Structure 1
């Protein structure tokens, strides 16, 4: 395991640990993810405060990320030979899937430097190259496809939907937080059931992922 990731997870949770695992929704990919076996008993007050203050989103493979990654692996023609940017990349699962499916160049874009480190590590774990970008404003030009999974939990991200369309020829996104996207240009492709890995026992409505294409 990369030392940088070990340090990152322990900044959030002192007894935290990562393990190589294959998420149930996209078992072809191996990822460094949070190991729930270390949690013997409830979190202390200090641990709970640390998790809330600096959540390690990248150490979980969220349902929408799994579904979008598997969708790309099942439909490699969507990315083959293209320049792809994965927005809000987290663990990098979608970026890694795009690289595995034959994309010419893949960027994982995330504001969290730990997420970018995770994306690079997970790309290496799967034997594919993934580049990183730490801000939307610094993205490369001439993008063919933008992917995004579970970025609409924050309503302030909604304007990105049209920004994506302006920045790339196509957009492919997955979301479990928005039931009716109702956004011009975006069309529902499929609805797929999946669970966050490791499982966080979320409400069942958040296990229903919708894939949209623009």
Structure 2
């Protein structure tokens, strides 16, 4: 079972950590997220080292993912009837929102097998069907749209902005970290609000999410 697998992985990082079903604000979606009650204590040096070595990012709903999920709920025409891939899916919130908005097929793609387990658990929680992959370039066929949220925090990922068009005609990219975003294929489509759950007390600037639309030339 994906949920048992995830709890076991969290237990190796933080012995008492658990996931809890969490309703997302401004949405009818819920996710299995890290229970904040287990974060309200000092971490030992070993726990800190383990978290830094293998951060359980799939146990959070990051601000840009939540913002994009809300955007797709309000403007479902972006995904309706389309074959969509959620790149760097994490918890799967964007993939689940796309499925709810009427996409013909949604593939959650992530290198981390624990993230794919989280996507499976969260898809079941929200009664949607997803496909899964761990290799963006190895998936057969083309997509109509690539969805990307909370990936550009690592600037080494910026070359992927061009690579997305090798697999899809369009891309939607949500980001709250890069302030000097300039790319000839992308234009800012909207400015959105989001927050990370559970709350990491991040600076307010990271709640301001930019949504970019890119098109294959």
On whether the aligned pair clears a TM of 0.5, the verdict is: yes
Unaligned runs of 5+ in 2: none
For 1:186 and 1:149, locate their aligned partners in 2 and report how far apart those are by CA, in whole Å.
15
Q: Greater shift after overlay, 82-91 or 201-210?
A: 201-210
For 2:193 and 2:180, locate their aligned partners in 1 and report how far apart those are by CA, in whole Å.
16
Task: Judge conservation of contact 2:3–2:117 (CA < 8 Å) in 1.
Answer: no
**Offset at residue 184 of structure 1 (A):** 1.1
Aligned partner of 2:160 in structure 1 is: 160
For 2:84 and 2:156, locate their aligned partners in 1 and report how far apart those are by CA, in whole Å.
23
Aligned partner of 1:14 in structure 2 is: 15
Unaligned runs of 5+ in 1: none
Task: Judge conservation of contact 1:120–1:131 (CA < 8 Å) in 2.
Answer: no
Task: Judge conservation of contact 2:152–2:177 (CA < 8 Å) in 1.
Answer: yes
Aligned partner of 2:104 in structure 1 is: 104
Aligned partner of 1:27 in structure 2 is: 27
Which structure 2 residues correspond to residues 73-152 of structure 1 after superposition, within 5 A?
73-152=73-152
Q: Greater shift after overlay, 36-45 or 167-176?
A: 36-45
For 1:169 and 1:54, locate their aligned partners in 2 and report how far apart those are by CA, in whole Å.
33
Per-residue CA deviations over 1:17-69 (Å, capped at 9, x if unaligned) read 10000122x52111000001123421111111111111000000000000011
Task: Judge conservation of contact 2:58–2:91 (CA < 8 Å) in 1.
Answer: yes
The CA RMSD measured in Å over matched residues stands at 1.3
For 2:135 and 2:195, locate their aligned partners in 1 and report how far apart those are by CA, in whole Å.
28
Aligned partner of 1:2 in structure 2 is: 3
Task: Judge conservation of contact 2:151–2:175 (CA < 8 Å) in 1.
Answer: yes
Q: How many residues align?
A: 213
Which structure 2 residues correspond to residues 44-63 of structure 1 after superposition, within 5 A?
44-63=44-63
Task: Judge conservation of contact 1:23–1:30 (CA < 8 Å) in 2.
Answer: yes
**TM-score under structure 1 length normalisation:** 0.95
- SS of the counterpart of 2:177? coil
For 1:208 and 1:114, locate their aligned partners in 2 and report how far apart those are by CA, in whole Å.
28
For 1:57 and 1:151, locate their aligned partners in 2 and report how far apart those are by CA, in whole Å.
11
**Aligned structure 1 segments of 4 or more residues deviating by more than 6 angstroms:** none
Task: Judge conservation of contact 1:92–1:123 (CA < 8 Å) in 2.
Answer: yes
For 2:165 and 2:200, locate their aligned partners in 1 and report how far apart those are by CA, in whole Å.
32
